[in-house]
C-alpha cells in the first residue's frame, strides 16, 4: 500500500512566531552586520575595519541601524510568512511528483526563497541599500536631509515600480541559492554529526546544541554565493560612481565588478555575511526552540519557526 503524502499544516501562531523571531534577529546583530556587509560590497576598496569606521561616521551607533525602520522591519515581518506558506505547498507538490524528503525540502526552500524575493524582499533590500549607500545631506548647511519615505517616493516618482525593485532578479538568485545551500549543507552536516555520535537510528534525535552547530555551519557556508550579493548591492547602490554602466543587468554588473576589482571584489563583505548567516541560524534555531516550547504551552500546538 502506497504511503499517503500529507501536507504540513500552516498555523497562525507559526506565522507570528516566524515574524517575531525575524524582527528580533534583525533588530539585534542582524542589521549591523547587514550594514557593514552592504558597505563593503558598495565600497569595495574598504576592508572590514574601514567599513566599520565609515558606518560609524554616518551616525555613530545609529549608523549601524540604517534601513532598519521601516524597510528591514517590513522585510522581517513578511518574509517568514511568505516562505512558510510557499515552501510548505511546494514541498508537498514535489513529494507528490516523486521526490524524496531531501530533494523536496531543497526544492521547497528554493521555491519559497524566489517567491520571497519577488513579493517582499525586492523592494525592501533595495530601499535598505539605498539608505546605507546614499549621500547624507546632514552636513550641508541649509539642506534638510530627506526622510526614508521621501527617498522612496522620489525613486517611485522618477523610476516607477522598477526603480524600487531594482536588483530584484539578483535578490531572487541569492535567495534561491541561499535556501538550496542552507537546506542541503545543514542536512550534510547533520548526517556527519549523526555518524560521529552514533545516532544512526530513525528515532535518534540531535540535541539542541548539535542542531545549532549544524545550522550555523550550513548558514556560514552558504555565503559561497557572495558574488550574487555584491552584484545585488551594486545594482541597488546610490553611491556616486561615474564609471558604473547605465541600465544594469545581473550580467553587466558582474562584468563591471570583475573588471574594476577582480575576483576579490566579488567577495567583498563575505566576512560579515558569514557572521550574519551564523547569527541568523543560531538565533532562529536556538531561540526558536525556546519560543516553540513557550507557544506550545500557550496554544496547545507546536509550531516550527522558519525564516
Please report whether residue 266 resides in a domain: no
Please report whether residue 218 resides in a domain: no
Please report whether residue 223 resides in a domain: no
Which run of H or E residues covers position 158?
helix 148-164
Q: What is the pLDDT of residues 41-70, one digit of tens each?
A: 999 999 999 999 999 998 899 999 999 988
Please report whether residue 86 resides in a domain: yes
Please report whether residue 36 resides in a domain: no
Give mean pLDDT, residues 12-16: 71
Distance CA(272)–CA(133), nearest Å, equals 17
Q: What is the pLDDT of residues 193-209, one digit of tens each?
A: 888 888 877 667 788 78
| Cβ atoms within 10 Å, residue 158 | 8
Domain count, the chain: 1
Reported pTM: 0.75
Please report whether residue 59 resides in a domain: no
| Helical residues (DSSP H) of 43-147, grouped into ranges | 48-57, 73-96, 101-116, 122-133
Which domain does 177 fall in, by range?
A: 66-195
Please report whether residue 216 resides in a domain: no
Q: What is the pLDDT of residues 135-172, one digit of tens each?
A: 765 455 566 667 788 888 888 888 888 888 888 888 88
Q: How far is CA 225 from CA 18, 20, 58, 137, 272, in A?
A: 25, 27, 28, 34, 14
Using the predicted structure, report yes or no on whether residue 123 has a pLDDT greater than 70. yes
Please report whether residue 180 resides in a domain: yes
> Quick one: 104 exposed, middle or buried, by C-beta within 10 A (0-12, 13-18, 19+)?
buried
Amino acid at each position: 500500500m502506497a504511503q499517503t503524502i500529507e501536507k504540513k499544516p500552516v498555523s497562525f501562531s507559526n506565522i507570528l512566531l516566524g515574524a517575531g523571531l525575524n524582527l528580533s534577529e534583525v533588530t539585534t546583530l542582524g542589521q549591523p552586520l547587514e550594514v557593514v556587509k552592504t558597505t563593503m560590497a558598495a565600497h569595495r576598496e574598504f576592508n572590514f575595519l574601514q567599513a566599520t569606521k565609515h558606518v560609524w561616521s554616518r551616525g555613530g551607533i545609529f549608523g549601524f541601524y540604517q534601513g532598519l525602520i521601516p524597510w528591514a522591519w517590513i522585510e522581517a515581518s513578511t518574509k517568514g510568512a511568505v516562505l512558510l506558506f510557499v515552501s510548505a505547498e511546494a514541498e508537498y507538490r514535489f513529494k507528490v511528483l516523486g521526490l524524496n524528503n531531501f530533494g523536496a525540502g531543497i526544492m521547497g526552500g528554493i521555491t519559497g526563497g524566489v517567491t520571497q524575493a519577488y513579493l517582499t524582499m525586492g523592494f525592501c533590500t533595495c530601499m535598505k541599500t539605498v539608505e546605507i549607500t546614499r549621500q547624507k545631506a546632514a552636513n550641508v548647511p541649509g539642506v534638510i536631509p530627506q526622510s526614508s519615505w521621501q527617498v522612496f517616493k522620489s525613486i517611485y516618482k522618477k523610476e516607477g515600480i522598477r526603480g524600487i525593485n531594482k536588483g530584484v532578479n539578483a535578490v531572487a538568485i541569492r535567495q534561491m541559492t541561499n535556501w538550496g545551500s542552507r537546506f542541503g549543507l545543514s542536512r550534510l552536516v547533520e548526517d556527519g554529526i549523526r555518524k560521529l555520535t552514533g545516532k544512526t537510528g530513525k528515532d535518534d534525535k540531535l540535541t539542541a546544541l548539535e542542531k545549532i552547530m549544524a545550522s550555523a555551519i550550513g548558514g556560514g557556508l552558504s555565503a559561497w554565493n557572495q558574488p550574487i550579493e555584491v552584484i545585488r548591492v551594486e545594482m541597488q547602490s546610490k553611491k556616486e560612481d561615474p564609471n558604473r554602466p547605465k541600465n544594469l543587468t545581473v550580467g553587466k554588473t558582474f562584468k563591471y565588478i570583475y573588471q574594476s576589482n577582480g575576483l576579490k571584489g566579488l567577495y567583498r563583505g563575505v566576512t560579515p555575511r558569514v557572521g550574519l548567516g551564523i547569527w541568523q541560524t543560531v538565533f532562529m534555531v536556538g531561540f526558536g526552540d525556546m519560543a516553540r516550547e513557550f507557544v506550545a504551552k500557550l496554544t496547545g500546538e507546536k509550531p516550527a519557526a522558519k525564516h
